[in-house]
Structure 1
């Protein structure tokens, strides 16, 4: 029996470098990961970006008549532009013609379209964006939930983020018995604002996760935690700061590798180490964040994403599909959610 490849719908018109970099990344991912790519957008503009040289089949192009601009109010634009590329891509997942969506366009529009077209998983109040950051322990990343979908949160939202994050960490990131932390300004349960104090108690009482306490800012990259939950306001600041630090470190490395013969020799010797370090700290390696809690797999990439980031995002989408993240959240979380002790 032939194996059916994972089908990834890509919003080819979304992002600062669309459609050229989006198409290039999609083609690289198709060849590298054996997925079926559906490029959604203006057919003429997409075709102009395809310079196919491999033996792989050409990606399927799905026409879309409009795009959501970055300056537009997301919900209004999504409702007004029913044939925008992000809406068409989400509809492909809704109609089971694609298994996942990748978009580097308007993140608010992607979230709004996912909610309106795919809906929430039963038992989930608010979807969250999970972002993966490296830690000082090799091959041991940390998942941050939420990094921008929900600026204001209630304790039960953070509890749901912790459960969904645990499932993703265990089955996609291959973490055994993921340890969960709550982002806070101190280790003591009494530290932090009202949200942090109330959430700490709720997480302690949840037997679906392994909650080990508060995570201060200095703990985020320590490797002590596998999942860290927070509201989207703090999470987004944390994510962008971490990415900026990674970019700064890479730039410093380039500047400190002195020119001339000695610099070239030193660089040649260190090249394998430098390459591994770049892979660990470069956010391009992960391609974007998974929107957990909606009824479909959706990867939201940076607006500035270029081909390597899009290719990585496709890989992340494929891993989420193959590891049945949606089914696991449904089967593990939802039945017990009806018996939740949480009252907010």
Structure 2
């Protein structure tokens, strides 16, 4: 049983390294094959080391990094001037083969620029894409991409996203022949712009992708699709809008259940149902956007994520590494190119 080696940048989150270290501790306990290389300031590690037994600590390496990529750093500045940063180090470890995947909560633009420069894209992939799981009806999940890695995208790019999303859904959620859809302003063939219509035709001509046609925005969370594909501009707006709605609904439920004595009594009676609903919709378990299409695995955690949410980002990287997702995407892309 070989180790799954993950490099973790602990310096990028909004709440400090202790959040990432708490997530690391839980990950080591929950994932017995996990080996972590933790990158950051050595001064942050003492408490973490004291909380682990000798056997668990033997599965952790520590790398001291003098520099930190801040949220205010421009991607180009971080790429040129922060080569000794914890963010750059975790990506370098993936590139050298000393780690199978890396996780960072830092500056998204800098992470994408560094990963693209250091790891490069797989043959047949023009641009990487950010992809993440979202909840949908009946306790199921859907993959949405791109979430903002490339604001501008052509039809070939959307086609590549569809192939990559299909592979990730199949490998990490074990969905046989995942249903792939394009996000559009309507389901009818006549709807949409030239870009979407061209991508639609490319997917219809590709038998190795289980393409089911167009879906509208509300069907991301309720439709049949396992993978929903769009450009980074639209995908990022869809993601942020859904996050905003989720926060609004949770806030309104909390307010409604405390307004009156009768409401408080009813909320107590409904507590088991509300807990079950929250567990299903809990945003923590959907933390972790993968930058797919690269020659290595890079997972971006939300900067303001809790320790629990960061754990799910590490788990996402672990599952992708265990299933050798980049290799599977490479094989799939090669077979698709041969069909065309």
Q: TM-score range by the shorter chain?
A: over 0.9
Structure 1 position 259, deviation (Å): 7.5
Does 2:151 align with 1:151?
yes
Unaligned runs of 5+ in 2: none
Q: Helix, strand or coil: the match of 1:311?
A: helix
Alpha-carbon separation, structure 1, partners of 2:153 and 2:209? 19
Alpha-carbon separation, structure 2, partners of 1:101 and 1:328? 18
Alpha-carbon separation, structure 2, partners of 1:269 and 1:322? 43
Indicate the residue corresponding to 1:196 in structure 2.
196
Indicate the residue corresponding to 1:9 in structure 2.
7
Q: Is the 8 A contact 2:132 2:289 kept in 1?
A: yes
Alpha-carbon separation, structure 2, partners of 1:47 and 1:8? 20
Q: Is the 8 A contact 1:11 1:41 kept in 2?
A: yes
Alpha-carbon separation, structure 2, partners of 1:262 and 1:7? 53
Alpha-carbon separation, structure 1, partners of 2:19 and 2:220? 32
- Spell out, residue by residue over 1:149-202, the C-alpha distance to the aligned partner (whole angstroms, 9 max, x if none): 010000000000000000111121222221111111011222122211211111
Indicate the residue corresponding to 1:79 in structure 2.
80
Indicate the residue corresponding to 1:111 in structure 2.
112
Alpha-carbon separation, structure 1, partners of 2:283 and 2:55? 28
Structure 1 position 40, deviation (Å): 0.5
The 5-angstrom pairing of residues 87-126 of structure 1 reads: 87-126=88-127
Unaligned runs of 5+ in 1: none
Structure 1 position 53, deviation (Å): 5.6
Task: Say which is worse superposed, 86-95 or 26-35, in terms of deviation.
Answer: 26-35
Alpha-carbon separation, structure 2, partners of 1:118 and 1:20? 28
Structure 1 position 338, deviation (Å): 4.9
The 5-angstrom pairing of residues 53-72 of structure 1 reads: 57-58=56-57, 59-72=60-73
Alpha-carbon separation, structure 2, partners of 1:95 and 1:178? 32
Indicate the residue corresponding to 2:270 in structure 1.
270
More helix by share: 2
Q: Helix, strand or coil: the match of 1:211?
A: strand
Shift in alpha-carbon separation, 1:110–1:223, aligned structure 2, 3 A: same
Q: Helix, strand or coil: the match of 1:88?
A: helix
Alpha-carbon separation, structure 2, partners of 1:33 and 1:246? 30
Alpha-carbon separation, structure 2, partners of 1:50 and 1:287? 26
Q: Helix, strand or coil: the match of 2:304?
A: coil
Indicate the residue corresponding to 1:52 in structure 2.
51
Structure 1 position 147, deviation (Å): 0.5
The 5-angstrom pairing of residues 1-344 of structure 1 reads: 3-34=1-32, 35-47=34-46, 52=51, 57-58=56-57, 59-138=60-139, 140-258=140-258, 266-340=266-340
Task: Say which is worse superposed, 119-128 or 214-223, in terms of deviation.
Answer: 214-223
Shift in alpha-carbon separation, 1:53–1:270, aligned structure 2, 3 A: farther
Shift in alpha-carbon separation, 1:173–1:28, aligned structure 2, 3 A: same
Q: Is the 8 A contact 1:142 1:223 kept in 2?
A: no
How many residue pairs were aligned? 337
Structure 1 position 269, deviation (Å): 4.4
- Spell out, residue by residue over 1:90-148, the C-alpha distance to the aligned partner (whole angstroms, 9 max, x if none): 1111122111111110111111111122111111111101111111222x211111001
Q: Helix, strand or coil: the match of 1:76?
A: helix
Task: Quote the RMSD (CA, aligned, Å).
Answer: 2.0
Q: Is the 8 A contact 1:246 1:282 kept in 2?
A: no
Shift in alpha-carbon separation, 1:54–1:129, aligned structure 2, 3 A: same
Q: Helix, strand or coil: the match of 2:138?
A: coil
Alpha-carbon separation, structure 2, partners of 1:227 and 1:328? 17
Q: Helix, strand or coil: the match of 1:57?
A: helix
Q: Helix, strand or coil: the match of 1:137?
A: helix
- Spell out, residue by residue over 1:197-222, the C-alpha distance to the aligned partner (whole angstroms, 9 max, x if none): 21111111111211111111121111
Q: Helix, strand or coil: the match of 2:66?
A: coil
Q: Is the 8 A contact 1:19 1:49 kept in 2?
A: no
TM (norm. structure 1) is 0.92
Q: Helix, strand or coil: the match of 2:67?
A: coil
Q: Is the 8 A contact 2:206 2:336 kept in 1?
A: no
